[in-house]
Copies of this chain bind each other. A is one copy, B any other.
Amino acid sequence: MKSSELYQFGEEIAWTYAGEGVSRKVYGSDDQLMMVVVKFEAGAVGDLHEHPHSQVTYVESGAFEMTIGAEMKVIRKGDGYYIPPHVVHGCVCLEAGVLIDSFSPQRSDFL
């Protein structure tokens, strides 16, 4: 199974542009699992989209108006969410912050 290094040091990973006001860093991964850190400026939009991966997320900081399928909620530091495969989701960043996303299987489109 192809995988990342065992350790990731945040300062050694470059931010990748992921849309206006949105950037990401890919952390640990193997074929079946991947962790990604996504930083949003206030007002940035994560466009509605869907993918075949399961996703779980933890809000490390900031505030977001999150939409998952038909359910919209405001989430803040310490909250989280689950995206089933192929369910449309997106967000608007209300206060600048960081989301910790994990996907299964890995997002090979991020490598």
Main secondary structure of the interface of A (DSSP, over half): strand
Contact of B32 with A82 in the complex, beta carbons under 8 Å:
no
Contact of B100 with A8 in the complex, beta carbons under 8 Å:
no
Contact of B33 with A102 in the complex, beta carbons under 8 Å:
yes
Query: Does any Cβ of B come within 8 Å of A3's Cβ?
Result: yes
Q: Give the interface size class of chain A.
A: 35 or more
A-B contacts, 21 listed (Cβ < 8 Å):
A1-B84, A5-B82, A6-B81, A6-B82, A6-B83, A7-B71, A8-B79, A28-B56, A28-B57, A28-B80, A28-B82, A32-B32, A33-B33, A33-B54, A33-B55, A33-B102, A35-B56, A58-B100, A100-B100, A102-B102, A104-B104
A contact residues vs B (CB 8 Å cutoff) = 1, 3-11, 27-30, 32-35, 37, 54-58, 60, 66, 68-69, 71, 73, 75, 77-84, 100, 102-105
